[in-house]
Structure 1
Amino acid sequence: MSTARIADDLQFAYWVPNVSGGLVVSDIEQTTDWGIDYNRRLAQTAEQVGFDYALSQVRYLGSYGAESQHESVSFSLALLEATEKLKVIAAVHPGFWQPAVLAKLATTASELYDGRFALNVVSGWLKDEFQKFGEPWLEHDERYRRSGEFLQVLRAIFAG
């Protein structure tokens, strides 16, 4: 593949700092703001300089240096509202979402924002988080099996 073809096809994304400290594991004080105003401006700037996607992180409890986090789906909707072209991907955990409800939300968001909303289904790894939210902890292979099943159900719902 030629470099010209790669340049035409290559797309860029950034990781939305919707988590305090931006999920940077460091002893250095972080200056990234995790608030919505900062993130709206960041999304608008990313769009202006040519980023194609923004990925909102998902975490429900503080972990590895982050004390606070915004929920990824609702945060993503605010970023879509603040932009015109940027596609926003919201990370979600199977088990925390009922597939039919999430499918309805995603369909509505996609319609409202011209197909710019997407989902990133993640299997999760933070045992404490699942347990504190009343979800059973599944071992690695079972978490991935659940994610696969979750995707199948979502795709079936989207297909009608």
Structure 2
Amino acid sequence: MSSHSDAIKFAYWVPNVSGGLVISNIEQRTGWDIDYNRKLAQIAEANGFDYALSQIRFTAGYGADNQHESVSFSHALLAATTTLKVIAAILPGPWNPALAAKQIATINHLTNGRVSVNVVSGWFRGEFAAIGELWLDHDERYRRSEEFIRALRGIWTEDSFTLKGDFYCFTNYSMKPKPIEPLPEIFQGGSSRAAR
């Protein structure tokens, strides 16, 4: 018999962008506004979905003209539901781990621990150029993500966090309140050797 933690979990991709990031010439009927997304989250929750994953983009792509920021949008979906967990996508570079740790810890408290993080290493060079962020080579982006995740966990668990990394430096940093236990889940995708 498998434990509940081994059970299959269901998630959906939050259409917090116009067109839902569907690559098609067919006109899309998916809404990207908050009213549509609140209703979608409530329907997903009522039908047994475990997670919703909000997307992060700073510039439009795939024909999407409008894109909401993921952490704020995730919080709005969490406020409209009671059991659904929402995974907020975060992009190292534009986000500093101290900011991300504080945002997620606050939302963690406001939603009884239902917020998670998806660390996106970045793949769209034009987006980084448009917002003035340094573009790193593929493997370096994943190294930065690994260090970003170490920083998040350290900030959330240590009272005097110190890290002298290649991308981030912290000296005796103490963030309070810490997230409630269990800590927010951290997800990251990728199939390359660097991602693994």
Q: Same-fold call, TM > 0.5?
A: yes
Question: Where do 1:63-78 residues align within 5 Å?
Answer: 63-78=61-76
Number of the residue aligned with 2:166:
none
Report the AA paired with residue 132 of structure 1: A
Distance in 1 (CA, whole Å) between partners of 2:103 and 2:115 is 10
Q: Map Cα deviations across residues 70-113 of structure 1 (whole Å, 9 max, x no partner).
A: 00000000000000000000001001111111101111111110
Distance in 2 (CA, whole Å) between partners of 1:11 and 1:24 is 23
Q: Map Cα deviations across residues 22-81 of structure 1 (whole Å, 9 max, x no partner).
A: 000000000000000000000001000100100001111111221111000000000000
Number of the residue aligned with 1:91:
89
Distance in 2 (CA, whole Å) between partners of 1:114 and 1:103 is 16
Number of the residue aligned with 1:135:
133
Distance in 2 (CA, whole Å) between partners of 1:150 and 1:5 is 31
**For 2:92, what is the secondary structure of its paired residue?**
coil
Distance in 2 (CA, whole Å) between partners of 1:104 and 1:64 is 31
Moved over 3 A (4+): none
Number of the residue aligned with 1:48:
46
**For 1:88, what is the secondary structure of its paired residue?**
strand
Q: 2:108 aligns with which of 95, 107, 110?
A: 110
Distance in 2 (CA, whole Å) between partners of 1:5 and 1:94 is 34
Distance in 1 (CA, whole Å) between partners of 2:70 and 2:79 is 14
5+ residue gaps, structure 1, are none
**Identity, % of aligned positions:** 62
Distance in 1 (CA, whole Å) between partners of 2:50 and 2:72 is 19
**For 2:37, what is the secondary structure of its paired residue?**
helix
Normalization by structure 2: what TM-score? 0.77
Distance in 2 (CA, whole Å) between partners of 1:68 and 1:60 is 10
Which structure shows the higher helix fraction? 1
Tell me the C-alpha RMSD between the 2 structures: 1.6
Distance in 2 (CA, whole Å) between partners of 1:119 and 1:21 is 23
Distance in 1 (CA, whole Å) between partners of 2:96 and 2:136 is 17
Q: 1:158 aligns with which of 149, 156, 159?
A: 156
Report the AA paired with residue 45 of structure 1: I
Number of the residue aligned with 1:79:
77
Report the AA paired with residue 36 of structure 1: I
Normalization by structure 1: what TM-score? 0.94
Q: Map Cα deviations across residues 90-149 of structure 1 (whole Å, 9 max, x no partner).
A: 001001111111101111111110110010001010101111111011110111111011
